[in-house]
Amino acid sequence: MAANVTTPTAPPADYRVRIQVEPIRALANQVITNVERVIIGKHREVELALIALLCQGHVLIEDVPGTGKTMLARAFAKSLGCSFRRIQFTPDMLPTDVTGTSIFNQQTREFEFRPGPIIAQVVLTDEINRATPKTQSALLEAMEERQITVDGITYAMPMPFLVLATQNPIEYEGTFPLPEAQLDRFMMRIHLGYPNAAEEVQMLESQQRVHPIEGIRQVVSAQELINAQQAVKEVYVDRLIKEYIVALVETTRRHPDVYLGASPRGSLALVKTAQAKAAIRGRDFVAPDDVKELADGTLAHRLILSPAARLKKVDARGIVNEIVNSIPVPGARVR
């Protein structure tokens, strides 16, 4: 009798968890279409930011000034009806300027907590590498634990919670490079880049009288997003897909041009983002192509290159793409 051979991507017949991916796909299409009224010609980057949001992750946007980083964050906040705060980092900023502080009220004779700008649903931390390491570390607890501690009292962050951090990759004077621990907290790193000529003309025409951000309206509720975040976790990931992801991450640790490879947090980020990618595509299971498309954005910023590789101007993104092309994707197996 012939063995039952199936691909490793689809759920087995006895898989008990069933999710409805159509609401997730519809939500994604609504948000992406709305955001693209402001951010023109950057469909992939907008989709990546939404994927991180669906995975309850944070995004580092590394690009030159004027490419729409702030508008991307504002467009997402308005599309979701979420509170939005912008923090402009400077070298003289203190951690309490981010988290908030307790102030003594002379009328009540008690200390009152005045929340900082980090307590919002969508937070844009502009030029994060201009803040001192002490101030940068104020974000660690908020990003990872979704809470802040001020004067021994813990305050929970609102849900959903997304940090969009920006940094200029060209101008390094007066900056403090993000340490590995901070970079590892970001689920994805994306690059917006310049628009092409036709897209730039379209942008000029759209902003001739009023900025499109003023016309952005809420298209989904915060609760709908939270429901989608929970549903994405149930997207099926076959064991062979997990082994494929681990093989990719392990190879970054053995690469001759890499001093420090991706951490297990990178493996988790790749699994979670692949689940969200599959749901956006209308599938309730992860395919190898989902992993390959997201490996660059989730792993490259976690690599520390060797001194020799930096001298040769080796790019971390190029190393990840090289590894993706060298590791064979999972094949069929007998169930």
pLDDT of residue 271 exceeding 90:
yes
| pLDDT, average across residues 153-171 | 83
Q: Which pLDDT score, from 0 to 100, does residue 1 have?
A: 38
Is 247 in the same domain as 300?
A: yes
Q: Which pLDDT score, from 0 to 100, does residue 334 have?
A: 47
Helices and strands: H and E segment counts in the chain: 14, 13
Decide if 298 is inside a domain.
yes
Is 36 in the same domain as 159?
A: yes
End-to-end CA distance of the chain: 14
Decide if 12 is inside a domain.
no
What H or E segment, with its residue span, contains residue 310?
helix 307-311
Q: Which pLDDT score, from 0 to 100, does residue 79 have?
A: 87
Helix orientation angle between 43-54 and 288-299, rounded to the nearest 10 degrees: 90
| pLDDT, average across residues 206-217 | 81
Q: Which pLDDT score, from 0 to 100, does residue 6 have?
A: 44
The domain in which residue 282 lies consists of 235-328
The pair of three-digit structure tokens given for residue 145, joined into one six-digit string:
């634990």
**Domain end residue (candidates: 177, 209, 234):** 234
Is 318 in the same domain as 225?
A: no
Is 223 in the same domain as 244?
A: no
Decide if 335 is inside a domain.
no
Is 54 in the same domain as 159?
A: yes
Is 219 in the same domain as 304?
A: no
Decide if 302 is inside a domain.
yes
**Domain end residue (candidates: 234, 257, 290):** 234
Is 37 in the same domain as 184?
A: yes
Decide if 10 is inside a domain.
no
Is 219 in the same domain as 314?
A: no
Full-model pTM: 0.85
Instruction: Report residue 245's pLDDT band, with 50, 70 and 90 as the boundaries.
Output: very high
Is 87 in the same domain as 104?
A: yes
Is 195 in the same domain as 243?
A: no
Q: Which pLDDT score, from 0 to 100, does residue 108 have?
A: 80
Decide if 13 is inside a domain.
no
Please tell me the distance from the alpha carbon of residue 37 to that of residue 17, in angstroms, as a whole number: 36
Decide if 59 is inside a domain.
yes
pLDDT tens figures, 294-313: 988 898 888 888 888 788 88
Cβ contacts of residue 141 below 8 Å, gap of 6+? 147, 148, 149
- How many domains are there within the chain? 2
Decide if 317 is inside a domain.
yes
Is 230 in the same domain as 240?
A: no
**Domain end residue (candidates: 234, 250, 274):** 234
Decide: residue 155, CB within 10 A, 0-12 exposed, 13-18 middle, 19+ buried. Answer: middle
Place of tokens 């994927």: 51
Give the count of beta carbons closer than 10 Å to the beta carbon of residue 198: 10
Is 46 in the same domain as 157?
A: yes
What is the CATH number for 175?
3.40.50.300
The residue ranking higher by pLDDT, 8 or 135, is 135
pLDDT of residue 45 exceeding 80:
yes
CB 294 within 8 A of CB 273: yes
